[in-house]
């Protein structure tokens, strides 16, 4: 299945891309997606603890199953205002 991945701020800089499409095995979870990203980009590891994952606009935890066509956003700690 394919999911669209949006990333922001520090995570975007580490990934060198704000937007990508990932091909994941059916049944993959949010945590599996993060692991796949870390494999391709090891420096991402140190952001794991502070980055929240949103699936279709809602923050989820790692065990959340993903579905084809999902929009996943990687959200580092916020700094608005």
Partner 1 sequence: MRLAIVREPIDVERLRREVERDDFGGVTVFVGVVRCRDDDGRSVTGLSYEAFEPMAIAAFEAIAGEARERWSGVALAIEHRIGDLSVGEVAVAVAAAAVHREAAFAACRYAIDQLKQRAPIWKKERYADGSGRWKENACGR
Name the segment binding partner 1 (CB under 8 A); options: 3-11, 25-33, 36-44, 61-69.
Answer: 3-11
One residue of 6, 31, 36, 60 binding partner 1 per CB under 8 A: 6
Residue from 16, 21, 57, 63 in contact with partner 1 (CB under 8 A): 57
User: Residue 10: left if φ>0, alpha if ψ -120 to 50, beta else—which one?
Assistant: alpha
Rule CB under 8 A: which residues touch partner 1?
A: 6, 8-10, 50, 52, 54, 57, 73, 75-81
């Amino acid at each position: 299945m394919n999911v669209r991945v949006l990333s922001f701020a520090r995570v975007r800089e580490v990934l060198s891309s704000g937007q990508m499409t990932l091909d994941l095995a059916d049944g993959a979870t949010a945590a599996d997606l993060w692991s796949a990203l870390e494999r391709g980009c090891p420096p991402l590891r140190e952001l794991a603890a502070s980055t929240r994952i949103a699936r279709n606009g809602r923050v989820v935890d790692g065990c959340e199953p993903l579905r084809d066509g999902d929009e996943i956003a990687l959200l580092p700690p916020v700094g608005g205002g």
